[in-house]
Amino acid sequence: MKDAKVIELEEVAIRFSGDSGDGMQLTGTLFSDTSALFGNDISTFPDYPSEIRAPQGTVGGVSGFQVQFGKKKITTPGDLAHVLIAMNPAALKANAAFMNPGGTIIFDVDSFSEKNFAKAQFQTLDPFAELKLDDYFKIPVPITSLTKESLKDLELDNKSVLRCKNMFALGLICWMFERPLDYIERFIQNKFGKKSPLIAEANLKVLHDGYNYGMNMQHATPRFIVHPAPIEKGIYRNINGNLATAWGLLAAAEKSGLNLFIGSYPITPATDVLQALAERKDLGVKSFQAEDEIAGICTTIGAAFAGHLAVTSTSGPGFALKAEALGLSVMAELPIVVVNVQRGGPSTGLPTKTEQSDLLQTLYGRNGESPLVVVAASTPSDCFYYAFLAAKIALERMVPVVLLTDGFLGNGSEPWRVPSMSELPSITPRKATNPELFKPYNRDPETLAREWAVPGMEGFEHRIGGLEKNAAGGVSHDPENHHINTQIRAEKVAKVVDMIPELEVVGEAEGDLLVVGWGGTYGHMISSVRAMQNAGKKVSLAHFNYIKPLPKNTAEVFSKFKKIVVCELNLGQFASYLRDSVPGFHYYQVNKMKGLPFSVHELVENFEKILEA
């Protein structure tokens, strides 16, 4: 048998897609982890339906997982997939628009039946022609029937047999891309070995049969090589943004010498933060799954009053419900961290899709003058660092801090070098030390942060709360006192600028166009800016992780460019904030509200139009 041609690639994007019960998220995750362990740099994009169980075989029920991996730095999951694994016709229809021209489509030919064409609302019996995919390299594989054949000698019911189909597809893809199977084998044994040894045996057999199918069908199946990427030495793991956020908070608790408390209500896509921390009782974590969002933040405020590193996690709808209690933490000047993993809105909106539309709510969505610190993570792995820094700012400046991530970051993953604790900065909570001089609203003259006294500290008895207070902690209705305190609370947040680094520019410090973004759009923006730079354009990037306060050199950076364009996954919230906070510049906008991240192609196209305008 003639061997397949081996194609060497620098980077490749694969999209696993099927019904929401086909195990595509697990398949994509296992392949991603295997590629990361192989030494490739990776970026992933899980894309799953909002409904718990949409009608089987329909486009609305399609679940997808895209991973881009390569031998160089990977910053996005890829605009378009080079390889699509379609487990049914609906998966093909849902993903046709996300295919690279001339790409490879591997499909389960057993599921491409007239009945399933109707479920996916195809008008003809030739879905490839209908979707204009005739020029793509198509590999029909009888995945369902081969899975049944593989497991015919095991005493499994038909439903359990069909649940193993994803392992056949995974084995085939591992052969095509020369991925070793040992990590996947260990995962299956650890997950099923003790409780369901028969299920473990079935998944392992189908995995190897899929791999062997590729080997035996070399004449019909291409094979690819993507060499490992050169990376800094260290211990690495593949990590998603929600887990990185949880670990950053754990590191902050250790550095500060405090116990960590999280009070949260489960909400997509933030629930994994609560789950990850709830598993760490061994590290002193106290977790409380509240009955609602209000209880979640109120228990967090109580934990902060009691001297804990206090955290609550949520998404946009839950953040709205936390608004009143967040104002209480502003008035009481207690250090809490609120993690908002943003999703599509308003209301229930698009609960499994990404968006950046909670910014103005975060900045202004409370009654009264209610300032707090706002930071935003920009990649899945740096959710760790910004969670850590959010806790550091809260504890050292006695101020609530909101950390903005989003569904793309929270569910997406990339390789992360695990730091040692010695690499992380110190955290020194502003604990009260002198009972003779203590007053609850005495302040550090440099930072305006008040002292933190917790119950049980003899000589530090005091009152705080939602009513306006005087310096001694007594309730005050004096108009002049309220005016002064309002100014102080705002100035205290403004003084956090001394803790944050100046804004850095990727590229030349001056030029024709400065691309501005914030949060989870970083990967697509840096890729598009580099594409423009490689084309000889004078384009640079300024990406913001610190939103309130803004870096002190923001206006200086902006002044060195002829044009500024602000890109965000909303209708222009950061651009509006910049017009108010950094006036005197014209801000072009590129906005997207589709529940999807930017693509590099669409950004480059918009930048070229702005340069030509």
Q: What is the mean pLDDT of residues 172-193?
A: 95
How distant is the alpha carbon of residue 241 from its chain centre? 4
* HEC assignment per residue over 449-479: CECECCCCCCCCCCCCCCCCECCCCCECCCH
Residue 500 has pLDDT above 60, yes or no: yes
Structure tokens at 338: 């609120």
Q: What is the mean pLDDT of residues 392-401?
A: 98
pLDDT (0 to 100) of residue 558: 98
Per-residue pLDDT band for 1 (boundaries 50, 70, 90) equals: very low
pLDDT (0 to 100) of residue 254: 98
Average pLDDT score over the chain? 95
3-state secondary structure of 450: strand
Residue 212 has pLDDT above 70, yes or no: yes
pLDDT (0 to 100) of residue 193: 86
Per-residue pLDDT tens over the stretch 200-211: 999 999 999 999
pLDDT (0 to 100) of residue 284: 96
Residue 5 has pLDDT above 70, yes or no: no
Strand extents, DSSP E, 407-472: 413-417
User: Going by C-beta distance under 8 Å and a sequence separation of 6 or more, which residues neighbour residue 514?
Assistant: 505, 539, 540, 541, 542, 557, 558, 560, 561, 563, 564, 565
Structure tokens at 147: 């899975």
Q: What is the mean pLDDT of residues 382-410?
A: 98
Per-residue pLDDT band for 145 (boundaries 50, 70, 90) equals: very high
pLDDT (0 to 100) of residue 223: 78
Please measure the distance between the N-terminal and C-terminal CA atoms of the chain and give it in whole angstroms: 58
Per-residue pLDDT band for 220 (boundaries 50, 70, 90) equals: low
Residue 560 has pLDDT above 80, yes or no: yes
How distant is the alpha carbon of residue 537 from its chain centre? 30
Residue 318 has pLDDT above 50, yes or no: yes
* Share above pLDDT 90 across residues of the chain, in percent, rounded to a whole number: 90
Residue 151 has pLDDT above 70, yes or no: yes
pTM assigned to the model:
0.94
pLDDT (0 to 100) of residue 612: 95
Q: What is the mean pLDDT of residues 161-179?
A: 96
Q: Phi then psi for 243, rounded to 5 degrees? A: -70, -40
pLDDT (0 to 100) of residue 86: 97
- Cα–Cα dist 118/125, whole Å: 9
Q: Beta 236-240 vs 137-141: how paired, if at all?
A: unpaired
Q: Are 35 and 115 in contact (CB under 8 A)?
A: no
Residue 4 has pLDDT above 80, yes or no: no
pLDDT (0 to 100) of residue 194: 85
Residue 572 has pLDDT above 60, yes or no: yes
Structure tokens at 515: 């691309």
> Can you say whether the dihedral through the CA atoms of 118, 123, 127, 131 is positive or negative?
negative
- Give whole-number Cα distances, 206 to 112, 183, 202, 212, 255, in Å: 21, 15, 6, 10, 46
How distant is the alpha carbon of residue 323 from its chain centre? 23
Q: Rg of the Cα trace of the chain?
A: 26
Helices then strands, each counted (H, E), the chain:
22, 21
Q: What is the mean pLDDT of residues 520-546?
A: 97
Higher pLDDT, 112 or 3: 112
Per-residue pLDDT band for 219 (boundaries 50, 70, 90) equals: low
Q: Which structural domains are found in the chain, ordered by start? A: 6-225 (3.40.920.10), 240-499 (3.40.50.970), 511-612 (3.40.50.920)
Residue 365 has pLDDT above 50, yes or no: yes
pLDDT (0 to 100) of residue 2: 43
